Chains A and B, each alone.
Chain A
């Protein structure tokens, strides 16, 4: 192996890790919601695309960088997620899975059509000077936007971990996830906790959307692809596990980057799905998931 090839490989792995961190953040929202409420959010990608559009609008009409609009978007998403759960999703908890699937699919279709009405079919992207920047460290070149996005994703994941392990609400959510009946017996307001969880999950997805718009432009039909990607990540990492979502994101990010280098770049998605099939065959609960009772 030549030095040039090893350098390219190291570069691809680094790039994959950076992208993987954003993927991880995106999948985190899906995993948190499922882990607590046992509801699979099939409108996950569509919700993230709303975040992308909001960040784009902030940039286009108010000249605010997506990095700066991110906290506002996360807050809006928290509120919207909370309200959506209380008003629409809550009645479906405990109902057959196909009903939940149809409900969230309907929400996804409504959102896609709303983008088309509001923003039209064209791709919308933000154009910042930093999108052409990179950091040089010895022979390595790091894409500035990806570094910023990855660092922000790590900070958000850290805050989320602190929330779930250090705050009373976070601990209550975990308690409700572990033992729903027990939580009800000790007097926890489980319905409110569920809505809070959905809000937190939506805030993660909104934040991921604001980060994602700095990397790729948004189109109304982007969502389905990212819903699928988030599913691959959480299934590989372990549905319901936060560590699994982050690890799955990194694994998929790196595998896509390395596959693109070693095989044809157009075959990189094939490798992600190959990993998914392997995990489903060898460890169906995912790398960090708990096996069923």
Chain B
């Protein structure tokens, strides 16, 4: 008799099972940071969890965001960046509770960094998970100030806060008047009455006196976000005889608004969107045709003069020929770009190293209008600038700042039946 042990298939199975069980138990019993380390290992690629509302109410915008990320690796290759990311998509279903669950799922699946999530509510839910789990979050789009005011250590935001959006937009108004030599004396503010619209109205009213605007706000007209008819609202705005319309709209109400303006033959000096969606969106431009021309949105936008923007536009047009690249795609692409640059700088996928790199990052070559991407001590990029984007030839076109302008500004807006509208 010998003490030699023989391995049968059953014994091998038991041993393998026992080993796996032991490893699993060790993993489950390990402290949280160690669990993250186990989960993440040391892979060669950076795994980015992209969290976006690709279904539900915000699906259309969520998908526009995702398209920006979908072409990111191709653009990096075009720009000779020595990086290829593994981007894993997670749908937040436009619900903060799902966003939280998906963030946890992404981290459990070994994502080293998260990017998302278009909406402030969903982003806050994800930020809390990232903070608890010690995984960096790069915010692509979300304007609620508290995201960078709560002392989060693992969150950076590459999007302006709501006050930054409004200040940037209203400051550009002065530049528009200065360049065109025409300054309206009165304006009417029309806004949806949802959370976003109400926040914008309150923000505009609060910042208006501080910014020393050259025109007077003669009325504020709010309406339901699901409005089916804006004839009364437009009649009321027209009756104020305001020279300028400031619409805080979404897509469908923006269409109703312009239809009514044309029908009621109201031709103010201009329609200047102070930072809301709607007027620059593809569906608006397509359905409004010549009546959608010459409307100006003062929003962060893609810098047409940047080589990286040109590469992004080319790749986006090739992959999604029927979809317009807008700020949603642009900021999401930049979110992924920030993750890639942080990885290149950190030379590691460890959360602490990535976060350290994010804090020190300075990205000169990017796609949105503004200075280099850099984060202050709160994690906010303060170099983002608003651009004046005018609808010209059915395309949102940067007209200001002049250094990024792709076409000259047209202001005041030509009348509805002007022959320049074709």
Interface, chain A (partner B; CB < 8 A):
4-5, 8, 11-12, 15, 19, 121-123, 125, 127, 131-134, 136, 141, 143-144, 215-217, 222, 225, 256-257, 260-261, 264-266, 268
Contact = CB atoms under 8 A, between A and B. Distances in A.
B265 A261 contact: no
Contacts of A4: 239
Counting chain A CB atoms within 10 Å of each CB, the highest count among B193, B221, B232 belongs to B232
Counting chain B CB atoms within 10 Å of each CB, the highest count among A19, A132, A265 belongs to A265
A261 B232 contact: yes
A83 to B, nearest CB: 31
A121 B264 CA distance: 31
Binding site secondary structure of chain A: helix
Nearest to A216: B228
B89 interface: no
A268 B235 CA distance: 14
B231 interface: yes
B233 A265 contact: yes
B59 A121 contact: yes
Interface residues of B, number: 30
Contacts of B59: 121
B262 interface: yes
B264 A141 contact: yes
Contacts of B264: 134, 141, 143
A256 B262 CA distance: 22
B325 to A, nearest CB: 20
20 contacts: A4-B239, A5-B239, A8-B235, A12-B232, A19-B229, A132-B291, A134-B264, A134-B265, A136-B265, A141-B263, A144-B263, A215-B228, A216-B229, A225-B226, A264-B221, A265-B223, A265-B227, A265-B232, A265-B236, A266-B193
A15 B230 CA distance: 11
A266 B193 CA distance: 8
Contacts of A222: 228
Given A132-B262, A265-B223, A15 B60 contact: no
Nearest to B291: A132
Interface in B146-197: 193
Contacts of B265: 134, 136, 141
Interface in B370-421: 416
Contacts of A268: 232
A8 B236 contact: yes
Contacts of A8: 235-236, 239
A81 to B, nearest CB: 25
Given A216-B228, A225-B226, A265-B232, 16 more contacts: A5-B239, A11-B235, A15-B235, A19-B229, A132-B259, A134-B262, A141-B265, A143-B231, A143-B264, A144-B263, A215-B228, A216-B256, A256-B232, A257-B231, A261-B232, A261-B235
